[in-house]
Amino acid sequence: MTKKNKAPANPNHQTFWERNEASDGILLKETIKKYIVSIFRAILLFGMCFLILQPILNKLSISFMAEKDLYDTTIIVLPKNFSLLNYKIAATIMNYKNALWNTIWVSILVSLLQVATCALVGYGFSRFDFPLKRFWFFCVILVIVVPPQTISTSLFLHFRFFNILGITTVNLRNSMTPYILMSLTCMGLKDGLYIFMIRQYFMGFPFELEEAAYVDGCGPLKTFVRIMVPGAKPILVSCFLFSFVWQWTDSFYTQLFLGKIKLLSMAVSSLADKFAQYMKEVYGYVSVTTGYQNAINATGVMLTILPLIILYLFAQNLFVESLSSTGVKM
C-alpha cells in the first residue's frame, strides 16, 4: 500500500507568518505598504478637516466669551465667563429676524430660477445642434473662468440706466429685478458652472428614451419635462443646494443690486461699522477695543452660517446622495 499524500493546509487556517512565508515575503511587504498608505491618508484627511473646521471652531469659542476673557492669556478655547451677550448684541445690530427672512426667500427664489433656466440650457447643449454651438459653449466656460468683479462696472451701469426698447431709461437697482433678469438669462452667480454640470449629466442619458417619447407623440419640451427632468433629479438637487449656499453668503451681487432689501451677508459686512455706535448709545462705551470688535464680528459670522449648518444636518443624506450619483461624463 502506498501512503497517501497529506492534503495541503487550508489557507484560511494558516497564520499570517505562514502565509507570508508561502508568498516569499510579498504578503508582509503589501501589508506594510497598505498600512502606510492608510496612515498617510488619515493624516491628510485630518489635516484638511482641521484647516476647514478650525476657523469655525475658533469663532464659535470667541462668540461665547465675555470681553474680559478675550484678553486673558490663560484662556485658549473654553471661556471662563460663558456669555450670550455677544449674540444678543450682534442679532440686534443686524436686525437678524428681518435679515434672515429676506435671505431665505431671496436665496430660494434665485436658486429655483437658476436651476430651471440652466437645466433648459444644459439640455439644449447636450441634445441639439444649432449655429455656433461650440462658440456659445465656449462663452459658458468663460462665465465660469472670468470672475464677476471684472464686469461689475458694466453691470452697475446697465441696470442703473436700464433701457426699455430704446424708449425710456429706468433705474433697476435697489430691487430684485436685476437678480431675476440675470437668473432668467443664465448670467447669475455661478450659472456657467450649473450649465456645464447639467450638460455633462444629460450627455450620459441614452438617446433611446427621447426617441421612445417622440414616437409616443411628445415634443421636445414635453420630453424634457416628463422624461429628462425626473431622471436628472440628482444633478438638479446638487445645483439647487450649491446655488442656495452661494447665494446665502454672496455679498458681491447683494451690494451691487440690493439696497433696501437687507440680507445677512450685507448685515454682517456692516456689523463692525455699527458696533461702536451701538455700544456708545446703549452701554455708554467711549471706545471699543479691537478684540471686542473682532468677537462681535465672529458672532455675526456664526449667526450667518448657523442656518446653513442646520440645513446640512437635515439634508446631508440627500446632499451626499445627489453628489455621489452625479457623474461628470465627458
**Distance (Å, whole) CA 318 – CA 321:** 5
DSSP string covering 7-21, please? PPPPGGGS-HHHHHH
Please report which helix (H) or strand (E) contains residue 299, including its range. Answer: helix 290-324
Tens-binned pLDDT, residue by residue, of the chain (330 aa) = 444 454 455 555 678 788 877 877 788 888 889 999 999 999 999 888 888 888 888 888 888 888 888 887 787 788 888 888 889 989 999 899 999 999 999 999 999 999 999 999 999 998 888 888 899 999 888 888 888 888 888 888 888 888 877 778 888 888 888 888 888 988 888 888 999 989 988 888 888 888 888 888 888 888 888 888 888 888 888 889 889 999 998 888 888 888 778 888 888 888 888 888 888 888 777 777 888 888 889 999 999 999 988 888 877 776 666 666 555 443
Overall size of the chain counted in residues: 330
Write out the E strands in 2-137: none
Using H for helix, E for strand and C for coil, what is the string for 253-270? Answer: HHHHHCCCCCCHHHHHHC
**For residue 213, what pLDDT is reported?**
82
Percentages (nearest 5) of helix, strand, coil residues in the chain: 70, 0, 25
pTM here is: 0.80
On whether the CB atoms of residues 233 and 120 are closer than 8 A, the answer is: no
Give the SS3 label for residue 205. coil
Residue in the structure block whose three cell numbers are 428614451: 209
Handedness of CA 246, 250, 256, 258 (dihedral sign): positive
